[in-house]
Chain A
């Protein structure tokens, strides 16, 4: 792994430092929810932030700032048991891990799926000015058309597994395809593969066939 290529550890560090754009952060949070063995590393990275926060030179706050805050506490209701309590009670799909729920809201089947042969995709409601955030469902044993990237494609597996000729990725694992990676993800036989995928630039088809079948063409 050269320094030119980012890896999952880089993503964990950047997320802990608050540096990731929301779509990429969503991939990392989903990874952490499904691969709790990575939590120790992530918490360690957050602890770097906590340790360095303590060492910052304190800045002087304006006179009266504390009193104003105390006045707000007077108006404050009882502590909120959980800000997102409603979310936990809402019906949700077992294939949708917690970080994705605010974006999926309800059942997977209710998303605006578009079907392209053995590949289906549903856009998630995130800002699209730089990144495109999609759920991709690949039928068991089927392939996404071969493609390469100008930018990056970061994918986390929610269900099933796929192999792209470079690696095998199971539930919770992150696949990072950098610029120039030419790959063709194939879902493992036996189970459909559901992924969350974020791309930051158009894909280029490298196969000789089926421009019309390629769901990525519109990217």
Chain B
């Protein structure tokens, strides 16, 4: 089977198409729709896994596992709760910790719909949607370069604060305060969105 995936960037229309696709996977077990999700996410998840320290073949194998989870758990995706990319990110993050650190990533709801009391109400000031996710991308792009760079390192590189400080040639305290500045800036930019 030749797979034709989307490799371009994702603007909102593409996000909407992928949202359609995840629903088709959940409801109809639609393999063409799954192929499009694979085309967009698998190469990016593999990129993420390489950055956090997986060797190339391990990154590819783990990316397959992440996509298999997307297939199996598509019905659990709730577009009211999270952007699709965020949901996929959390699956990739947890698989990575399982596989590379041989630890669990403790989750607050264990993805278990039988646990009603764990179904927490959403915050009253912030509802994450695809649109909000686009706002986040815009907000990250508007950060000073060194703040955006640090945020990416923090999320995507398996390095301690000290190693990050060494590599950037900064005092440890500066790394911590710069990261907080970045987050505070993003949150202020996003205030009222959603």
Contact = CB atoms under 8 A, between A and B. Distances in A.
Interface in A62-83: 62, 65-70, 72-73, 76, 79-83
A82 B112 contact: yes
Main secondary structure of the interface of A (DSSP, over half): helix
A109 interface: no
Interface string B129-171: 0001100110010000000000110111000000000000000
Interface of A: 3-4, 9-10, 13, 17-19, 21-22, 25-26, 28-30, 32-33, 36-62, 65-70, 72-73, 76, 79-85, 87-89, 97-99, 101-102, 127
Interface of B: 1, 3, 7, 9-10, 31, 34-35, 38, 42-48, 50-52, 59-60, 63-64, 67-68, 71-76, 81-90, 92-94, 96-97, 103-115, 117-118, 120-126, 128, 132-133, 136-137, 140, 151-152, 154-156, 173, 176-177, 179-180, 183, 186-187, 190
A67 B47 CA distance: 20
A102 B90 CA distance: 19
Contacts of B177: 3
B47 A56 contact: yes
Given A30-B106, A43-B81, A79-B72, 18 more contacts: A4-B176, A21-B103, A26-B106, A36-B120, A37-B123, A39-B122, A44-B190, A49-B93, A50-B136, A53-B85, A54-B10, A56-B44, A56-B48, A59-B46, A65-B64, A69-B68, A81-B75, A97-B118
